């Protein structure tokens, strides 16, 4: 498949390429291997650069505004480097100052709870302004505090549960909660409650699912009650609630071996090829009459989630209708649906289908919004690039009529699965944005001026194509205005009023600056915070260098980052370690913004060149770029990594192309094992954590999206997933492979690692394995980090690492 370059302007300016000027010409055979690294001092320096140890060394890096009721003012919690302060900003008055007197509040809290609190190390991160902003409420020390700001008098409530299970109504009079597979309602704070639904059951409950195996184990069989997935109507008279039928879905088993009598757990888990999969739906419940309507949604949804789905309210302001989107199986279709809250009738407002898969905006924000006038703003890759389109919400296609949820003879609910009443397509008004660049998130829609504020990447010539900038255009398309002129990645947050923008911008090499902007013209009103990284730099920390190389096709530009050790010596040879996350939903680099570098930066300190590359098949560029290895998971972007590392080695003689290692977790665990088995002559060492090594054993939502529906070849006894399964290549292993997996991983089942182990044993291969007892998917613990470091030091540097070096987390991290 030929991939067109992701940027219409070809290669980036020379200043983007990594160019290190060496003092003398490089001798043909004179390069020395790295002087002994991997020492105790290297480990100690690397440990200090891990994220959990660097947070308190930074100041002013992160500003997350919490907007207040007037829609303009906001407060945020700022890291000062020696503690945290709560800051209040009033853009209308042009003021900025403390949200409260930190010393007086700490004293009042200490008196109320008979505990000593430190003013700029208060034990809470968020709060609620109550009583017309005359008081604040917050959770601290597992209790609920209420403090009056005029007098700084605090009262302390009862011990709090870990989860707030109650979902309050907009009028603040009632709250709904989940219990015993059903929904209950009560007056706010009351002890008496009324049951709203009665036909909920195990694996088919209202508003919540069963606790997963790992959580159940951690809670010793008594997990906290979950918070119901419901959305109140604006008039507080109705609820919409998520319900998913798992009753007949096959289960995956898990065993915890750490007790004298091992414990067995299971959960329903649909795999590619399964004909019985979870069926999601939405019910509308009238809280007064208890009337319960189950929607009839056609075509059948495969993924539907009320949690944070829309950019605006799910409900229309008059409480008569609500909107949601869903994906069909294998993500072949994406549908925006409007439902009538009284009848349950639904109609399609916008939709996309694709031969590969339909993306729902990989930046994470919703793909749509609907204006009061009936315009649907729709994010889509239908013309080959991510762009915005406008549909007529008043001309959607009817899809069916729902009936009340009733109890049949078997005690289960019965639904009318009527066929669609119309096949009419949603009406397209116009394409709003277009061009060989990628539109990102819609952040605000000004319906009065008929303007849309959105981010985009790759539009500005000569800039990093992954940096997001903020733009504005009209509903009809046309002129596009750049509102953030700085050459940087912009993380923007709009005030509810639409008048102000909090913008944190940074480059990979330059730390963040947070400013307050006017949405009218993008001008900077004031600087809120400028990051101070001096304490981090005192440790010898330096940012990575951005580079550009050609992909496997020799045409397409791809980009990555390179980390060098503090004591880098260009006259020596360094092994290279490739940190990979193959996506396709995200790339190895992740967010292209300033960061401390985490483990990649720390790992370099041990004596390595560490690289991350966003290969063909990762998002934020064209649809063709993203689709690159659809249908063949085994690609994993690895040909691009090999091509890129070879180009870097040709540019930089300090890179030892004969000593290449690779590591990753989850999808990266799959890719790193794939790398050392599929390209055993290039990758010499691999460390793989919790890899989904055979996606026939992974969940349908991810596996089918990128590989397609499972298709069996009855003649050969294989299927379209077979050639991507790592265990099929076990006999290829030449280098050193360390596999790690948690035995209670209820995301990526440990069976996938065991299947690889089984085939490695059959092939008489040497390998290393760590099974982490009672661990879930993350494995983000110091022990596993250290074992990864040791493996590379021992097998790439050929140095024995410090024995059982103990990595410690900073207090509170």
448 and 410 in a common domain: no
In tens, the pLDDT along 165-192 reads: 899 999 999 999 999 999 999 999 898 9
**Average of per-residue pLDDT across 674-678:** 98
pLDDT at 33: 55
Q: How far apart are the first and last CA of the chain?
A: 46
In tens, the pLDDT along 774-788 reads: 999 999 999 999 999
pLDDT at 471: 98
Dmax (CA) of the chain: 87
**How would you classify residue 380: left for phi > 0, otherwise alpha for psi between -120 and 50, otherwise beta?**
beta
Domain-located, residue 144: yes
| Reported confidence tier of residue 398, pLDDT bands at 50, 70, 90 | low
pLDDT at 277: 97
509 and 634 in a common domain: no
Q: Give the burial string for 207-225 (b: 16+ CB within 10 Å, else e).
A: bbbbbbbbbbbeeeeebeb
**pLDDT at residue 317 greater than cutoff 80:** yes
In tens, the pLDDT along 726-755 reads: 999 999 999 999 999 999 999 999 999 999
| Reported confidence tier of residue 714, pLDDT bands at 50, 70, 90 | confident
**Average of per-residue pLDDT across 417-421:** 32
pLDDT at 3: 40
pTM: predicted TM-score of the whole model, two decimal places? 0.91
> Which CATH number fits the domain that encloses residue 640?
3.40.50.1820
Domain-located, residue 182: no
387 and 451 in a common domain: no
Q: Give the burial string for 254-280 (b: 16+ CB within 10 Å, else e).
A: bebeeeeeebebebbbbbbeeeebbbb
372 and 321 in a common domain: yes
- pLDDT exceeding 70 applies to what percent of the chain? 90
pLDDT at 402: 53
Domain-located, residue 659: yes
In tens, the pLDDT along 289-310 reads: 999 999 999 999 999 976 543 3
Q: Of the candidates 502, 444, 518, which has an alpha carbon nearest to the alpha carbon of residue 92? A: 518
Domain-located, residue 595: yes
DSSP labels for 730-797? GGG--SEEEEEEETT-SSS-THHHHHHHHHHHHTT---EEEEETT--S---SHHHHHHHHHHHHHHTS
* Backbone dihedral angles phi then psi of residue 507, each to the nearest 5 degrees: -115, 165
Residue 216 near residue 265 (C-beta atoms within 8 A) = yes
Domain-located, residue 278: no
pLDDT at 721: 97
525 and 410 in a common domain: no
pLDDT at 397: 63
Domain-located, residue 265: no
**Long-range Cβ contact pairs of 153-159 (< 8 A, separation 24 or more):** 153/108, 154/105, 154/108, 154/109, 154/111, 154/112, 154/113, 155/112, 156/112, 156/113
515 and 636 in a common domain: no
**pLDDT at residue 442 greater than cutoff 70:** yes
Domain that holds residue 517: 432-529
Residue 490 near residue 504 (C-beta atoms within 8 A) = yes
Q: Which of 396, 431, 466 is the last residue of a domain?
A: 431
| Reported confidence tier of residue 17, pLDDT bands at 50, 70, 90 | very low
pLDDT at 396: 65
| Reported confidence tier of residue 626, pLDDT bands at 50, 70, 90 | very high
pLDDT at 668: 98
105 and 46 in a common domain: no
| Reported confidence tier of residue 34, pLDDT bands at 50, 70, 90 | low
Q: Which residue has the higher pLDDT, 267 or 424?
A: 267
pLDDT at 26: 33
**pLDDT at residue 557 greater than cutoff 90:** yes
Give the span between the Cα atoms of 491 and 514, in whole angstroms. 9
Instruction: Give, as one character, the DSSP assignment of residue 315.
Output: B
Structural element, H or E, at residue 79: strand 74-79
Domain-located, residue 124: yes
In tens, the pLDDT along 143-164 reads: 999 999 999 999 998 877 666 8
pLDDT at 31: 45
Q: Which residue has the higher pLDDT, 758 or 56?
A: 758
701 and 557 in a common domain: yes
**pLDDT at residue 386 greater than cutoff 70:** yes
Strands of the sheet with 167-168, listed across from one edge:
167-168, 174-179, 182-187, 194-195
Give the span between the Cα atoms of 213 and 777, in whole angstroms. 12
Q: Which of 474, 506, 529 is the last residue of a domain?
A: 529
| Reported confidence tier of residue 702, pLDDT bands at 50, 70, 90 | very high
In tens, the pLDDT along 71-123 reads: 999 999 999 999 999 999 999 999 999 999 999 999 999 999 999 999 999 99
**Average pLDDT taken over every residue of the chain:** 90
Q: Which of 380, 406, 431 is the last residue of a domain?
A: 431
Q: Which has the minimum average pLDDT: 260-269, 362-371, 380-389?
A: 362-371
Domain-located, residue 259: no
pLDDT at 285: 97
**pLDDT at residue 28 greater than cutoff 50:** no
DSSP labels for 127-165? -EEETTTTEEEEEETTEEEEEETTTTEEEEEEEPPSS--
pLDDT at 752: 98
pLDDT at 27: 34
pLDDT at 126: 95
579 and 556 in a common domain: yes
- Residue 51: is it exposed, middle or buried by C-beta count within 10 angstroms (0-12/13-18/19+)? middle
Q: Which residue has the higher pLDDT, 722 or 365?
A: 722
Q: Which residues pair with 428 in a beta bridge?
A: 391
- Cβ partners under 8 Å of residue 29, min gap 6: none
459 and 423 in a common domain: no
User: Does a cis peptide bond (omega within 30 degrees of 0) precede residue 538?
Assistant: no
pLDDT at 414: 27
717 and 610 in a common domain: yes
pLDDT at 366: 75
Give the number of domains in the chain: 4
pLDDT at 232: 95
**pLDDT at residue 411 greater than cutoff 70:** no
87 and 48 in a common domain: no
């Amino acid at each position: 498949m030929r991939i067109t370059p992701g940027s219409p302007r070809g290669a980036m300016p020379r200043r983007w390429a990594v160019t290190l000027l060496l003092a003398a010409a490089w001798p043909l055979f004179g390069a020395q291997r790295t002087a002994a690294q991997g020492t105790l001092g290297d480990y100690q320096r690397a440990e200090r650069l891990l994220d959990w140890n660097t947070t308190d060394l930074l100041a002013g890096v992160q500003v997350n505004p919490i907007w207040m009721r007037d829609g303009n003012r906001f407060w945020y919690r700022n890291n000062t480097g020696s503690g945290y302060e709560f800051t209040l900003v009033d853009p209308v008055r042009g003021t900025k100052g403390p949200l409260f007197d930190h010393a007086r509040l700490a004293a009042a809290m200490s008196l109320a709870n008979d505990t000593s609190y430190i003013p700029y190390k208060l034990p809470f991160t968020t709060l609620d302004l109550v009583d017309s902003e005359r008081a604040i409420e917050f959770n601290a020390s597992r209790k609920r505090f209420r403090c009056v700001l005029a007098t700084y008098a605090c009262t302390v409530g009862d011990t709090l549960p870990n989860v707030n299970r109650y979902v309050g109504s907009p009028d603040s009079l009632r709250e709904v909660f989940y219990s015993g597979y059903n929904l209950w309602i009560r007056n706010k704070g009351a002890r008496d409650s009324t049951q709203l639904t009665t036909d909920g059951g195990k694996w088919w409950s209202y508003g919540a699912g069963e606790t997963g195996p790992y959580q159940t184990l951690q809670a010793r069989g008594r997990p906290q009650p979950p918070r119901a997935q419901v959305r109140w109507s604006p008039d507080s008279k109705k609820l919409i609630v998520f319900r998913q039928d798992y009753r007949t879905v096959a289960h995956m088993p898990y065993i915890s071996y750490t007790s004298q009598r091992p414990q067995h757990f299971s959960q329903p888990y649909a795999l590619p090829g399964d004909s019985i999969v979870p069926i999601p739906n939405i019910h509308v419940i009238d809280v007064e009459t208890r009337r319960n309507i189950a929607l009839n949604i056609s075509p059948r949804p495969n993924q539907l989630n009320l949690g944070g789905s829309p950019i605006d309210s799910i409900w229309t302001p008059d409480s008569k209708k609500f909107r949601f989107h869903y994906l069909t199986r294998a993500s072949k279709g994406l549908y925006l649906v409007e439902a009538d809250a009284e009848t349950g009738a639904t109609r399609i407002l916008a939709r996309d289908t694709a031969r590969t898969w339909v993306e729902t905006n990989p930046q994470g924000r919703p793909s749509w919004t609907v204006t009061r006038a009936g315009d649907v703003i729709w994010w889509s890759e239908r013309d080959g690039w991510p762009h915005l389109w406008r549909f007529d919400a008043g001309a959607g296609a009817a899809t069916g009529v729902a009936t009340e949820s009733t109890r049949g003879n078997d005690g289960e609910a019965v639904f009318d699965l009527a066929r669609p009443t119309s096949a009419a397509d949603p009406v397209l008004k116009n394409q709003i944005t277009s061009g060989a660049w990628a539109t990102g998130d819609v952040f605000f829609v000004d319906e009065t001026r008929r303007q849309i504020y959105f981010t985009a990447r790759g539009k500005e010539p000569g800039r990093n194509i992954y940096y997001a900038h903020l733009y504005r255009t009209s509903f009809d398309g046309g002129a596009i205005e750049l509102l953030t002129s700085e050459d940087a990645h912009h993380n923007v947050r709009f005030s509810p009023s639409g008048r102000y923008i909090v913008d944190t911008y940074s480059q990979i090499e330059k730390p963040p600056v947070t400013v307050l902007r006017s949405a009218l013209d993008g001008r900077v009103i004031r600087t809120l915070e400028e990051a101070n990284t001096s304490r981090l730099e005192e440790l010898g920390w330096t940012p990575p260098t951005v580079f550009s190389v050609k992909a496997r096709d020799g045409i397409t530009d791809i980009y990555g980052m390179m980390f060098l050790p503090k004591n880098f010596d260009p006259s020596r040879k360094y092994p290279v370690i490739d940190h990979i996350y193959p996506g396709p939903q995200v790339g190895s680099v992740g967010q292209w913004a300033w960061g401390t570098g985490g483990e990649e930066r720390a790992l370099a300190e041990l004596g390595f060149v560490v690289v991350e590359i966003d290969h063909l098949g990762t998002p934020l560029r064209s649809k063709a770029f993203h689709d690159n290895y659809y249908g063949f998971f085994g690609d994993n972007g690895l040909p691009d990594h090999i091509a890129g590392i070879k180009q870097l080695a040709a540019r930089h003689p300090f890179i030892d192309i004969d000593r290449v290692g690779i590591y990753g977790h989850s999808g990266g665990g799959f890719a790193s094992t794939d790398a050392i088995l599929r390209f055993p002559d290039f990758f010499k060492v691999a460390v793989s954590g919790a890899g989904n090594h055979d996606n026939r054993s992974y969940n349908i939502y991810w596996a089918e999206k990128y590989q397609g529906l499972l298709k069996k070849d009855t003649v050969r006894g294989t299927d379209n997933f077979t050639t991507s399964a790592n265990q099929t290549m076990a006999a290829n292993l030449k280098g050193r492979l360390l596999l790690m997996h948690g035995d209670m991983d209820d995301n990526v089942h440990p069976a996938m690692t065991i299947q690889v182990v089984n085939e490695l044993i059959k092939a008489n291969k040497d390998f290393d394995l760590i099974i982490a007892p009672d661990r879930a998917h993350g494995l983000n613990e110091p022990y596993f980090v250290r074992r990864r470091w040791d493996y590379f030091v021992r097998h790439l540097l050929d140095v024995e690492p410090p024995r059982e070096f103990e990595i410690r987390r900073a207090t509170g991290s």
